[in-house]
Structure 1
């Protein structure tokens, strides 16, 4: 055993000591144009095509029909209200206690088209894996939260109304009641915002955080499918929940 071990070491030393060391001699830069004129690699196509066909069959499912294009805007937008209402509906359907729903304007990536809305449209709108989360604010921090939204020009909300003047929030009402500085409020939002994302440092003051195993995208899908199964054509409205004064 001892002789074998020594011989192995000698062989290993010989191999490693004689191995050539490669060094980069030069580099050349070039631009390779990629277009429809580029010939297909049929082996690659044959490999991924079965997966593509299966994915396409899933993603082309029509989940709802809309009477209008549903786009975002400020201080309100059809998509703003629709997404926030979908989150609120998911909260109520899952018995999650909250006072209002909120998501960030920047998270709404593309509008939903007029007519048939396919599953891939929903994934384009919300490509993220963000989860529904609730946080709590005391009344003073809640006012700062509304001022944060006002400074941004208005963000998607459901269950609350306010006015914006000089980038400050006025006449704040939550579920029809004036903001009470002595009350604690629960905001249903995303884990992204609860972590202080999109400039939302105010969320770092929040307390009583709780996360739920519900993706925002799934909340939207459930809301759309619920209306579709009821035979309802989507037609969200601007209803004055946020007003520039």
Structure 2
């Protein structure tokens, strides 16, 4: 037993006195992976192909035809106007269907939430997925007029974003003129805002939405309502022609 104890002590002393190892050299190389250098797994291909073909068919479905390309821009643009208008209409329809005694006042779409433009001509389901790749849902938030003013200040500081039901004049990155439904915003009043769940939870520095007076989660995906609304517009009116109306503008 004494011999075993001495042996263990010797091992500990040996390792405690050893020097730390350091890396003296690192050798790396790139290994290219090219499709033509590998054979196709026929079994895997037979399993994947039906799903790939089905998705491709779904993504290529035409939901509408536009007169011009819809590109986002600031202070407002055809794309931001279209999406925010659709959100506001959807929210009003939702409230009517659910028999809610609510009439949403404005819609707000954050600029960064729109990830692509829509081309002139045929708009497919795939284009909408590129525009709205996230699973964001429509949320109705009731906030005070004071919070509306804070929201407008944030929009003005960013040079504009997507709104509907609201008219904003920006002067030196500040709010110059602000009206909702043609009337000045009352700081003491309350307003219903339609937006996405990311913003409703205070995302994109929109902290004024974190503690609302009331909140309704519709569980309606924005991407789905865009597809449905554009298809309805196309069937009803033909070619979709979106106009810029100066709802956000720069004051002199």
Alpha-carbon contact 2:71-2:117 (below 8 Å) kept = yes
Q: Distance in 2 between matches of 1:231 and 1:141?
A: 37
- Partner residue in 2 for 1:31: 30
Summarize the Cα distance change of 1:189–1:40 in structure 2 as closer, same or farther, 3 Å threshold: farther
Q: SS of the counterpart of 2:48?
A: helix
Q: Distance in 1 between matches of 2:211 and 2:175?
A: 18
**4+ aligned runs moved over 6 Å, structure 1:** none
Q: Distance in 2 between matches of 1:198 and 1:38?
A: 45
Question: Over residues 18-62 of structure 1, what are the superposed CA-to-partner deviations in whole Å (9 max), with x where a residue is unaligned?
Answer: xxxxxxxxx975423244544342333222111111111111100
Q: Distance in 1 between matches of 2:210 and 2:173?
A: 21
Q: SS of the counterpart of 1:94?
A: helix
- Partner residue in 1 for 2:19: none
Tell me the CA shift for residue 123 of structure 1: 0.6
Summarize the Cα distance change of 1:181–1:97 in structure 2 as closer, same or farther, 3 Å threshold: same
Normalised by the length of structure 2, the TM-score is 0.82
Alpha-carbon contact 1:81-1:238 (below 8 Å) kept = yes
Gapped regions of structure 2 (runs ≥ 5): 1-25, 96-101
Q: Distance in 1 between matches of 2:222 and 2:74?
A: 21
- Partner residue in 2 for 1:209: 215
Normalised by the length of structure 1, the TM-score is 0.84
Q: Distance in 2 between matches of 1:170 and 1:55?
A: 48
Matches within 5 A, 1:214-225: 214-225=220-231
Summarize the Cα distance change of 1:47–1:67 in structure 2 as closer, same or farther, 3 Å threshold: same
Q: Does 1:196 pair with 2:195? A: no
